[in-house]
Amino acid sequence: MTFKSPVGFQKRMLKGAVVLWMLVFFVPCHGVVGSGEFGNVYAIKAGKIITVTGGIIENGTILVRDGIIQAVGQNIIIPPDAEVVAADTMWVYPGMIDAHTSLALKLPKKKEGDDAQEQQKQTPASSEGKASPELLKSDRCAADLLNPKDAKIAKVCQAGVTTVLTVPTSGIFIGQSALINLFGDTAEEMILKSPVAMHLGYQRQTGVYPSTLFGVIVYQRQTFLDAQHHQLLWDRYEKQRAGWHRPLPDKSLDALIPVLKGNLPIIISANKENEMKRAVRLAEEFGLNYMISGATEGWRVVDLLKAQKKPLLVSLNFPKPKDVTGYTFKLKVKGPEKEKPDEKKAEAKKEEEENPEKKEIYANASVLHRAGIMLAFTSQGLKKPDEFLKNAAKAVEHGLPKEEALKAMTINPATIFGVADQVGSIEEGKIANLVITTGDMFDEKTKVKLVFIDGHKVDVEEAKKKPDEEPAVDVTGTCDMMVTTEMGDISATVTLIQTGSEVTGTFKSEMGTSGITDGTISGSDIEFSVTLPIMDQPRELVFIGTVEEDTMEGSLDLGAMGTAEWKANRPGWE
């Protein structure tokens, strides 16, 4: 056995004591000790801090450590391990919360035989007609479908949104939503709360039950009645198993039991006047703990909505001319040259003077707020992330107080979804979701400079400058594409021309022929836009997908009409 010298032992003890002394007296006592390196500790020195719940702090500092706001105010002592973010001329807001979107979700691919198996199942309202099994997905959970690598996440973050309620897009009983932060390598890192609510919609199918609003209502009522009966059978069986045949499990109906018991809120997507009236009637009939999402025609039934004393998730996807019940507006035809901002404002004002009802659409949020209804804004149906803030500014222009518009994107949705102790305002102890701007968020000249999500810094300008990944595929050629919608399949012939990372070409279908615009290839990801006449007016459709060895497939956002899936086979390309 070998013994070490007493002198060496004493030296090691002395060294350990010095290290311990340094830790006690020099490491700031702010909770969890950081690594001592820049990256997880920030001191944001701001010109204005818009806390939302605690007023405005001039020339203040926000101290962030390990993703949490550790201190906020004036005269904050900056620890030596903090990276100082100089934002002395800038404004800091809480990260914006989008109260209804389908971001970061990837629906599972169907396997051969799935449809046949589903059709063999007994579905609610079978006596009224055969409804697609895709309309009853109450057991579907957004948390199980999260895709942290969704390319759209970066663009949404750059617009100042840090948190979203993400919801599957199709069906009548749509599934269960999840509240997520837009940062993380895994789904688990992103989730703030799951499930948040069950979601119900009014999707119709042309030529297939239910194809009318009345049919959808019948289907909804019958499904809830079936769920009630399912619950009664199980309650009886649990009380006395002897002598009773055990009920058959049904995952779709099982998922509705917490909704009927009031333990899980239900969010009903309803935009038009009749849809909202039907939603309220259905909720009252079954005693549901509910709220409405969409409400783009809320101003038409404001008294009904006020009487319900429920918060509203209001879409900032303002209805286009012929989408509004009972109204027709003049369509503006733009020339080849871009209009100047002043010209756009003058034209917008002229349109409102010629079409008074259009002003009501923009003033929707203002009318609802004056009725005393708590509002949270959603981007549901918007094509571009920056439209979320721009359209909120439009609501401010038409009477909604600026502070209320800000609450509708921060503390209000946080309160509605039960996470106000975590996000929605700039307060000590909350998650460091922050947006740093060059000025007033609602000023059209203001730019988002930095975003913090869970304490992770994103330099927006640098992110925008970052080049896309080099194309890993060549999509040049002609292919037959199939677009699958809830209203049926649409076949198209698509000709693509790839030049570097840019994609152009033509899209031909029964709806007409359109040139392909804004087409890009990044790695194996493809995105392009097509403008087609839908409901007697031109609509821009954005195709987003992935090119694999033998297929090209993805999703298509149809706005208020939901989403679609599209696919083309590479072997058929010329």
205 pLDDT band, cuts 50/70/90, is: low
Instruction: For residues 267 and 376, state if they share a domain.
Output: yes
* CA dihedral angle for residue 198, residue 201, residue 207, residue 208, rounded to 10 degrees: 20
Flag whether 327 is in a domain.
yes
Q: What is the mean pLDDT of the chain?
A: 82
Buried b (16+ CB within 10 A) or exposed e, 70-81: bbbeeebebbeb
Residue with more model confidence, 399 or 152: 399
For residues 406 and 536, membership in a common domain is answered with: no
Nearest in space to 48 (alpha carbons), one of 94, 84, 95, 91: 91
pTM of the model: 0.77
Task: State the Cα–Cα distance between residues 539 and 531, nearest whole angstrom.
Answer: 5
Pairwise CA distance, residues 178 & 20, whole Å = 44
Does any domain span residue 555?
Answer: yes
Q: How far is CA 367 from CA 354, 410, 442, in A?
A: 21, 20, 19
Q: How far apart are CA 180 and CA 105, in angstroms?
A: 11
Question: Based on the domain organization, do 300 and 408 belong to the same domain?
Answer: yes
Q: How confident is the model at residue 192 (pLDDT cuts 50, 70, 90)?
A: very high
DSSP-assigned beta bridge partners for residue 58: 48
Cα–Cα distance for residue pair 48/267, rounded to 1 Å? 36
More confident residue, 92 or 569: 92
Q: Could you tell me if residue 273 is inside a domain?
A: yes
Query: How many of the other CB atoms lie within 10 Å of CB of 314?
Result: 28
- Convert the pLDDT of each residue in 429-466 to its tens digit: 999 999 999 999 999 999 999 999 999 999 887 776 66
Q: Which residues of 433-446 are buried (b: 16+ CB within 10 A; e: fewer)?
A: bbbbbbeebbeeeb
pLDDT at 362 over 80: yes
3-state SS, residue 52: coil
Helix, strand, or coil (residue 9): helix
Q: Please, which residues bridge with residue 12 across strands? A: none
Same domain, 388 and 246: yes
**Domains: count for the chain:** 2
Taking alpha carbons only, the member of 260, 271, 261 closest to residue 201 is 271
Output the CA torsion 64→65→68→72 (10° steps). -30
Higher pLDDT, 10 or 562: 562
Alpha carbons 141 and 276: distance in angstroms, whole number? 25
SS3 408: coil
Residue 335 has pLDDT above 50, yes or no: no
342 belongs to a structural domain: yes
- Side by side, the strands of the sheet bearing 456-459 are 68-73, 56-65, 41-50, 83-94, 434-437, 448-453, 456-459
What is the chain's length?
Answer: 574
CATH classification at residue 310: 3.20.20.140
Task: Let me know whether 483 and 382 are in one domain.
Answer: no
Q: Could you tell me if 287 and 394 lie in one domain?
A: yes
The pLDDT value recorded for residue 501 is: 86
Answer yes or no: are the C-beta atoms of 398 and 404 closer than 8 Å.
Answer: no
For 345-381, the DSSP string reads HHHHHHHHHH-HHHHHHHTHHHHHHHTT--EEEE-TT
Q: For the chain, how far is it from start to end, CA to CA, in angstroms?
A: 80
Q: In terms of domains, do 323 and 408 share one?
A: yes
Residues 488 and 398 in one domain: no
Q: Which two tokens stand for residue 47?
A: 């010109």
- We report the CATH number of the domain holding residue 547 as 2.40.128.120
pLDDT tens per residue, range 480-494: 888 876 556 788 899
Closest CA to 270 of 321, 215, 199: 199
Q: Do residue 397 and residue 515 come from a single domain?
A: no
pLDDT score recorded for residue 429: 97
In a domain, 498, yes or no: yes
Helix H or strand E segment including 461: helix 460-465
Sequence-ordered list of residues with C-beta below 8 angstroms from that of 249, at least 6 positions apart, any chain:
none
Last residue in a domain, options 380, 396, 414? 414
Q: Which of 399, 414, 429 is the last residue of a domain?
A: 414
Q: How far apart are CA 306 and CA 368, in angstroms?
A: 8
pLDDT (0 to 100) of residue 377 = 98
Residue 410 and residue 52 in contact, taking contact as beta carbons nearer than 8 Å: yes
DSSP string over 83-148: EEEEEEEEEEEEPEEEEEE-TTB-PPPPPTTHHHHHHTS--TTTTT-PPPGGGB-TT-BGGGGB-T
Q: Are residues 159 and 304 in the same domain?
A: yes
Last residue of one domain, picked from the residues 363, 384, 414: 414
Q: If you search the block for the tokens 């289907």, which residue do you land on?
A: 219
- What does the pLDDT read at residue 421? 97
Residue 357 lies in a domain: yes
Q: Measuring CA to CA, how many Å separate 270 from each of 10, 42, 120, 211?
A: 76, 42, 31, 16
Range in 321-330, 384-393, 408-417, 538-547 with the lowest mean pLDDT = 321-330
Are residues 216 and 297 both part of a single domain? yes
43 strand-pairing partners: 63, 84
Q: Residues of the chain with pLDDT > 90: what percent?
A: 51
355 occurs within a structural domain = yes
Q: Which range among 197-211, 250-264, 286-300 shows the weakest confidence by mean pLDDT?
A: 197-211
- Domain range for 242 is 98-108+145-414
Answer yes or no: do 288 and 404 share one domain: yes
Cβ neighbours of residue 135 closer than 8 Å, sequence gap 6 or more: 171, 172, 173, 203, 205, 210, 219
Residue with tokens 């803030």: 389
Assigned domain for 376 exists: yes
Give strand pairing partners of 516. 505, 530
